[in-house]
């Protein structure tokens, strides 16, 4: 982007504000409307910017079926990451775990199974028996493990989820939303990249029984590397999928489809629409100097200004050069101030619509100058204000 600079007559605390604008005005982006899916609830989101690209009923509470196991596995991965659990630990298999109905890993009551094997059984085979076994081993009971799941849900900001078991087997008070499941999946990919690789494994053999991964998109689309299927009569056919192409990662959630083929087909529609019509880029990195700003009453004449977090923006594909960038801040800063202090606002817009906004912050500390320095700056600013008013 080519930058040009202009001052505008917007004031903060009586100080003129400076704006820097990149890009030029262009026609409104032309993109096709999103697909309409044969599904009760769905969502498409960019994993890096967390921009929602498509959604329908994404905040509606519905049974998550085996999508629940994304949270079950996340808890296991958190325990492994913290060192409270080891992958080679042997977990005893109870009668309750062995008897659990639905999809199975086929573990046997009275035996012991390594934690790593149970985790693969949960992720790849969607084993209800493995889910109960690991829940009992970590928390003492499945009820206690469900309490851990709900604590973790709150920590991740899942606002409309309630977990009563580790499997997703039906219960009226066990629910989630497409929105929450997407947020959970993004956290999984971000926080546990090594364990996330398991979600792309196409099959797993345990107890001499080989079972394929139920996510058939792994065979249909090479960019898909997860995540999880689910089905109960109440939930319908569900699928959380994630794919990465050219550094852009999308997460789709389809819930309430009427068949295995439908959930795959509708998920593919979402992913194809997102990759075809949108792009995501990191425009500014945290801690990188974007501008030198004048400082008065300090032991330095200028300070570096930037952003505290990476600026990651999703926008219609092909319109990067049309993004307008405005950095608005006071014409000068008065010391002292610490690093990280907000001093302005960064705004990115396209065709008049704000894509992103974030505070501009100081990147280094500036201490107050001595008496002579402060006196000199006072005199300078006094006369500068007079000439400015006369101008």
Which residues are catalytic, by number?
A: 66, 69, 126
Q: In degrees, to the nearest 5, what angle opens at C-alpha 289 toward C-alphas 286 and 290?
A: 95
Within 8 A by CB and 6+ apart from 82, the residues are none
Please answer whether residues 293 and 306 qualify as being in contact, where contact means their C-beta atoms are separated by less than 8 angstroms.
no
What DSSP string describes 265-326?
A: HHHHHHHHHHHHHEEEEEEE-TT---EEEEEESBSSSEEEEE-SS-EEEEEETT-GGG-EEE
Rounded to the nearest 10°, the torsion over CA 82, 224, 72, 87 is -40
Structure tokens, 112: 């012991």
Q: Closest Cα partner for 318 from 16, 29, 13? A: 29
Match 């992720």 to its residue by tokens.
123
Strands 278-284 and 224-232: unpaired
DSSP 378: H
Place of tokens 């079950």: 72
Burial 184-196 (b: 16+ CB within 10 A, else e): bbbbbbeebeebb
User: What string of DSSP letters covers 176-234?
Assistant: B-HHHHHHHHHHHHHH-HHHHGGGG--EEEETTEEEE-S-THHHH-TTEEEEEEEEETT
**Which pairing describes strands 311-316 and 3-12: parallel, antiparallel, or unpaired?**
unpaired
């Amino acid at each position: 982007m080519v930058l040009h600079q202009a001052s505008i007559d917007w004031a903060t605390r009586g100080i003129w504000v400076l704006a820097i604008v990149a890009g030029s005005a262009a026609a409104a982006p032309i993109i096709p409307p999103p697909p309409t899916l044969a599904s009760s609830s769905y969502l498409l989101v960019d994993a890096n910017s967390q921009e929602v690209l498509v959604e329908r009923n994404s905040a509606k509470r519905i049974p998550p079926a085996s999508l629940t196991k994304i949270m079950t596995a996340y808890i296991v991965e958190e325990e492994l990451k913290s060192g409270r659990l080891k992958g080679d630990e042997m977990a005893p298999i109870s009668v309750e775990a062995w008897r659990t109905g639905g999809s199975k890993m086929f573990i046997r009551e009275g035996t012991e199974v390594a934690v790593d094997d149970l985790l693969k059984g949960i992720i790849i085979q969607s084993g209800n028996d493995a889910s109960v076994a690991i829940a009992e081993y970590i928390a003492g009971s499945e009820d206690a493990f469900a309490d851990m799941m709900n604590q973790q849900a709150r920590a991740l900001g899942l606002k409309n989820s309630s977990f009563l078991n580790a499997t997703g087997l039906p219960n009226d008070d066990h629910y989630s939303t497409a929105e929450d499941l997407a947020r959970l999946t993004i956290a999984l990919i971000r926080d546990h990249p090594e364990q996330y690789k398991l979600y792309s494994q196409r099959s797993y053999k345990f107890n001499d029984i080989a079972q394929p991964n139920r996510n058939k998109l792994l065979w249909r689309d090479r960019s898909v590397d997860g995540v999880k299927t689910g089905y109960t009569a109440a939930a319908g056919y569900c699928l959380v999928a994630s794919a990465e192409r050219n550094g852009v990662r999308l997460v789709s959630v389809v819930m309430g489809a009427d068949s295995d083929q439908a959930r795959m087909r509708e998920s593919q529609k979402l992913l194809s629409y997102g990759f075809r019509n949108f792009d995501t880029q990191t425009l500014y990195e945290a801690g990188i100097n974007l501008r030198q700003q004048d400082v008065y009453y300090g032991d330095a004449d200028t300070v570096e200004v930037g952003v505290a977090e990476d600026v990651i923006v999703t926008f219609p594909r092909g319109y990067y050069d049309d993004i307008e960038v405005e950095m608005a801040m006071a014409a000068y800063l008065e010391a002292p101030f610490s690093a990280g202090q907000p001093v302005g606002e960064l705004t990115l817009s396209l065709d008049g619509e704000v894509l992103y906004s974030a505070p501009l912050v100081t990147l280094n500390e500036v201490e107050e100058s001595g008496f002579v320095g402060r006196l000199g700056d006072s005199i300078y600013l006094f006369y500068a204000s007079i000439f400015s008013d006369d101008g």
